Structure 1
Amino acid sequence: MQITVLGCSGGIGAGRRTTAFLVDDDILIDCGTGVGDLSLEAMARIRHLLITHTHLDHIACLPLLLDTLFSRLQSRPLVIHARADCMHIIHDHIFNWQIWPDFFELPERERPVVRFHAMEPAVPIYLDGRRIDMLPVAHSVPAVGYRVERDGAAFAFSGDTTSNDGFWDALNAHDTLDLLFVECAFPDREQALGQQAGHYCPALLARDLTKLRHAPRVGITHLKSGEEDSVFAALQARVPGRELLRLCSGDVFTI
């Protein structure tokens, strides 16, 4: 599998793109502003979208993506995979004819350009040889992470989360994990705020990484704009034995 980081920032600004990961060329995990850097041809190859949760930095480009690809999707709709409650939020608050047209009814209700598939933890789906598991996390809104496996190689993405046991237990239930993308948004001085918002800080993530029985490469996402250097350095200091990668838009991983 090839994983391309389209966006991994906790904010915007020059060179910063919010969360989106492209798996091979046909699966998108989250749909933040990083999607906007894809060519039209690359966008058109996306067949599936996995949504971790409905915060704007993770779905900001979804309405525009559907609008941009509208004519191309009429013959082969985009399939959105997410928790059922996440899809209700997206439909009620975005595709409601006020914020944006309802692409679940266009061009006709019987043949929309986007379809929804409800997922739940512990029930994997299979997309062209790739097994995808939804993983429990702890965020301020309904949220999940994902683990993707193909031919014995696997990576996982936490989405947004703070300290919990469920995510790590779910990863440990599998035999392999080659690559882990996990968030670390807040500096330690804002730990209380981070927990309230449902995000990691270096102290909490360092503690939770000890729960993981695998030894993958660990890519850090969602660093707050302007705090990237200090938060990443603090995390490195707390986990000297782990290989940590500070992700950037455009990074490509092959497993």
Structure 2
Amino acid sequence: MKLKVLGCSGGIGGAGARTTAFLADNDILIDCGTGVGDLELDALASIDHIFITHSHLDHIASIPLLVDAVGEMRGVPLTVYATPEILRILRAHVFNWLIWPDFTAIPDRRRPFLRMQPLHVGESVRLGTRTVTVLPAVHSVPAVAYCLDSGGGQLVFSGDTAYSPEFIAAINRCASLRHLIIETAFPDEQQGLALASRHLCPNILAAILGEIVSSPEVYISHLKPGHGERIMAQIDAAGGRLRPKALRQGQIIEF
């Protein structure tokens, strides 16, 4: 599989700050933040599957605009996968005819532009030779992580998460793990804010990485604008066996 980073910033502010969205091959999105808007229309129309980690705006902002842009161009619905709790939030607060039309009923419920597919932690979706599996995560709203398996290697994306023994255990069950993308939103001096909002800071990240038994390439996402260099300096200073690098917009990871 080939994963392209469309956005990995913890906020907006400048041409290099697009919020979370990863394009796997040409047809799968993992989250759907503002980075999706940089794709050309034909690339948008090629997306068939969107896997959502949680309902915060920086991870879902482009879903309504995407389905509106390509719905009439497609012969099949665009499918959004998430836990039932996350899908309920999307239905109640986004696709509710007030914030945005309910595209699960447009043009009608028999032939919608959008469908929502519930998934639970531990469930997998097989897409050709590829598999996407839901992993546990802990955030301020219902949230999950994902493992992408190409058949030859695996990549795990944490989504937004706090320290989670269940997430660590799930990572350690990934027998072919090649890459780990994990958030670190705040510097250590804002650890209180990280704990309150259920995000990571460098010293909590170090505790997680210290419990991972394999040796994946580790990439840091969701750096808050204005704090990125400070956060990465603190991660570097923590040392450890795994040496994380900052994820970059436009980066391509193959596995």
Mark yes or no: TM-score above 0.5. Answer: yes
Taking the TM superposition and a 5 Å limit, the aligned residue runs for 1:155-170 are 155-170=155-170
C-alpha distance in 2 between matches for 1:223 and 1:88 = 28
- Classify the secondary structure of the residue corresponding to 1:69: helix
Corresponding position: 1:42 with 2:20: no
- Classify the secondary structure of the residue corresponding to 1:101: coil
The answer for the alignment partner of 1:213 in structure 2 is 213
The answer for the alignment partner of 1:154 in structure 2 is 154
C-alpha distance in 2 between matches for 1:163 and 1:6 = 26
Whether the aligned pair in 1 keeps the contact of 2:125 and 2:133 (CA below 8 Å) is: yes
CA-based RMSD: 0.9
C-alpha distance in 2 between matches for 1:193 and 1:103 = 36
The answer for the alignment partner of 1:223 in structure 2 is 223
Deviation at 1:227, TM superposition (A): 0.2
The answer for the alignment partner of 1:144 in structure 2 is 144
C-alpha distance in 1 between matches for 2:250 and 2:132 = 23
Deviation at 1:152, TM superposition (A): 2.5
Corresponding position: 1:177 with 2:172: no
The answer for the alignment partner of 1:84 in structure 2 is 84
Corresponding position: 1:56 with 2:37: no
C-alpha distance in 2 between matches for 1:135 and 1:110 = 31
C-alpha distance in 1 between matches for 2:163 and 2:101 = 37
The residue identity in structure 2 corresponding to 1:17 is: R
The answer for the alignment partner of 2:125 in structure 1 is 125
Deviation at 1:174, TM superposition (A): 2.4
Per-residue CA deviations over 1:74-101 (Å, capped at 9, x if unaligned) read x111111100110010011011111111
C-alpha distance in 2 between matches for 1:139 and 1:32 = 17
> What TM-score results when the alignment is normalised by the length of structure 1?
0.97
Deviation at 1:239, TM superposition (A): 2.6
Whether the aligned pair in 1 keeps the contact of 2:82 and 2:119 (CA below 8 Å) is: yes
Per-residue CA deviations over 1:121-177 (Å, capped at 9, x if unaligned) read 122121111111101011000000000112231101000001111111011112121
Per-residue CA deviations over 1:40-81 (Å, capped at 9, x if unaligned) read 1111111100000000000011110011112113x1111111
Deviation at 1:253, TM superposition (A): 1.0
Whether the aligned pair in 1 keeps the contact of 2:71 and 2:77 (CA below 8 Å) is: no
C-alpha distance in 2 between matches for 1:234 and 1:133 = 31
Percent identical pairs in the alignment equals 44
C-alpha distance in 1 between matches for 2:187 and 2:112 = 43
The residue identity in structure 1 corresponding to 2:83 is: R
The answer for the alignment partner of 1:25 in structure 2 is 26
Deviation at 1:240, TM superposition (A): 4.4
The residue identity in structure 2 corresponding to 1:164 is: S
C-alpha distance in 2 between matches for 1:252 and 1:236 = 22
C-alpha distance in 1 between matches for 2:200 and 2:210 = 14
- Classify the secondary structure of the residue corresponding to 1:200: coil
C-alpha distance in 2 between matches for 1:130 and 1:183 = 24
- Classify the secondary structure of the residue corresponding to 2:145: strand
The residue identity in structure 2 corresponding to 1:65 is: L
C-alpha distance in 2 between matches for 1:222 and 1:239 = 20
C-alpha distance in 1 between matches for 2:175 and 2:248 = 28
Whether the aligned pair in 1 keeps the contact of 2:209 and 2:242 (CA below 8 Å) is: no
Corresponding position: 1:251 with 2:254: no
- Classify the secondary structure of the residue corresponding to 1:42: helix
The residue identity in structure 2 corresponding to 1:12 is: I
**Gap regions ≥5 residues in structure 1:** none
Whether the aligned pair in 1 keeps the contact of 2:132 and 2:149 (CA below 8 Å) is: yes
- Classify the secondary structure of the residue corresponding to 2:177: coil
